[in-house]
Amino acid sequence: MGNHSHSRYRFSCRTELVSAGYPLEPFRQDSWILARRGSRNALDPRRAYAALMEEEPDGSGSPVSVATIFISNRECPWRCLMCDLWRNTLQEPVPPGAIPEQIARELPRLTPARWIKLYNAGSFFDPKAIPPEDHAPVARLLSGFERVIVESHPALCGRSCLEFRDRLEGSLEVALGLETVHPEVLPLLNKRMTLEGFRRAARFLGENGIGVRAFVLVGLPFVAPEEAVEWACRSAAFAFECGARVVSLIPTRPGNGALDALQERGEFTPPDLSDLEEAVSGGLALARGLAFGRGRVLADLWDLERFSRCRTCFAARATRLLETNLSQSERPRVSCADCGGSR
């Protein structure tokens, strides 16, 4: 990875960003992002909007079955530039009891699993998303799971995390959106988070026996596309140094309105499959070097086909990434007569 001072940014100065239309001031970024949104999906506040089964490796490298439930709840209060999760959120808080009802409906439909993820397009510890009075019944529903994984903004990691941890039969893990360590881009994502804030949250969780995983973007707005892998690897390194044991690499998806507007002006280029493959390779090397073999790097495979430029080799490359996730070691590269395959 090159020296930061030699990084080739898409814009040479902040005034150019202003002239391009995207505001630098946080209080203006919300309205700019909201003005470019499309419509939401219709959701039932008493039904989860999706559920699926996954598999990922545990700390020893053994495969673990994971049930994942996508909860319907009020939208996150942070309107991040790259977020498209708002499409599956409600505009009002759900009534008490609705969240346990959603989970209770889905559990019998899922295959028995050791771990469970409750992802809610925001923060589990946001009281306007998940009513605090629902924490206890949710914990009772999750008895029997070895690990419960929820997501949260770092700013909301506090006493409620500890109280929910104490209600669980198994262990708790919290997924934090780090996104990037790029010093100029992070403030422009409208996440209202600093690297020190992330570090502080990760330290708090770790000191209290709560696991940490981090979400890292592959491909950034305002940054040249050839730097996508470098910044993803820098960000993964920071997450491991802060105590994360899992880093999930997420290719930045267009289609949320705001990123589409930036893409039209040449300020954002979606990553391709090769970027994700290279970021995983770099991340695995970092995990071995910085986390003493205990860190895991996972490629996010959701909606993966949209990042492929070649139909001929996509299925083989998707399988390779899945096998890499499970084995935590690089699998043989895919060759393709049409595009050359994975680099």
Phi–psi pair at 116, nearest 5 degrees: -140, 140
Of the candidates 164, 150, 160, 187, the one whose C-alpha atom is nearest the C-alpha of residue 73 is: 150
Model confidence pTM above 0.85 = yes
In the numeric block, the tokens 């969240």 are attached to 99
Return the pLDDT at 11: 46
Alpha carbon distance 271, 269 (integer Å) = 6
What confidence tens digit (pLDDT) does each residue in 134-182 have?
Answer: 999 999 999 999 999 999 999 999 999 999 999 999 999 999 999 999 9
pLDDT tens digit sequence for 77-90: 999 999 999 999 99
Q: Rg (Cα) of the chain, in Å, rounded?
A: 20
Backbone angles phi, psi at 190, to 5 degrees: 65, 25
